[in-house]
Structure 1
Amino acid sequence: MTQISVERKHNLGREAARAKAQALVDKLSQKYDLEASWDGDRVDIARSGAKGSVHIGDELIRVELKLGMMLSMMSGTIEGEIERALDKALA
């Protein structure tokens, strides 16, 4: 299993960051066929071969994702996509 962890600082406040995270999750859900469910300030995401979460804090958003064997081969591409999407969402 491959672990991906991406963190970005923000100064949006928790509610605005949560809205941005929702937009990010919506985009990634469509592109990668993810299922998402919110639990407070965390959204859990999953699909066949991948499982993770997005944590929203007052000053930080952290995306953690575990990839199964098949998706591990694409880990660099997936991590880059998460980084770009998160940077764009927080811009």
Structure 2
Amino acid sequence: MSVIDVHRAHSMDKEHARQAAETLAEDLSKQFDVNYQWEGDVLRFKRSGVKGQLNITEDDLHIHLELGMLLRPFKSRIEHEIHSQLDQIISA
């Protein structure tokens, strides 16, 4: 199993952080066919070969994904896309 673990500091209020997380989830869902759902302030991701979550705190977005063997070759692409999306939504 391969793991992607990304922390990104933010200065948004909780509502805007949640909206940013929703935007990220929608984009990743479209690009990688990932299902997601909210459980409180935790956004859970799941599809065949990948599972993970995005935790929102007052000053941090933490994304933790576990990739199965078949998605391991795409780890760098997925991680790059996460960083790119975070750059866009946090600076917006």
**TM-score, L = length of structure 2:** 0.95
Equivalent in the alignment of 1:6: 6
How far, CA to CA, are the matches of 2:44 and 2:7 in structure 1? 16
Q: How does 1:1-91 map to 2 (within 5 A)?
A: 1-91=1-91
Q: Provide, for residues 12-53 of structure 1, a one-character-per-residue CA deviation record: whole Å limited to 9, x for no partner.
A: 111110011101101111111111110010010011110000
Structure 2 unaligned segments of length 5 or more: list them: none
Structure 1 unaligned segments of length 5 or more: list them: none
SS of corresponding position for 2:4: strand
Overall identity of the aligned pairs, in %: 36
SS of corresponding position for 2:28: helix
Q: Provide, for residues 36-89 of structure 1, a one-character-per-residue CA deviation record: whole Å limited to 9, x for no partner.
A: 110010010011110000111100001110000011111111111111111111
Instruction: Write out the 4+ residue segments of structure 1 that deviate beyond 4 Å after TM superposition.
Output: none
**TM-score, L = length of structure 1:** 0.96
Aligned residues: 91
Q: Structure 2 counterpart of 1:85, which letter?
A: Q
Q: Structure 2 counterpart of 1:51, which letter?
A: K
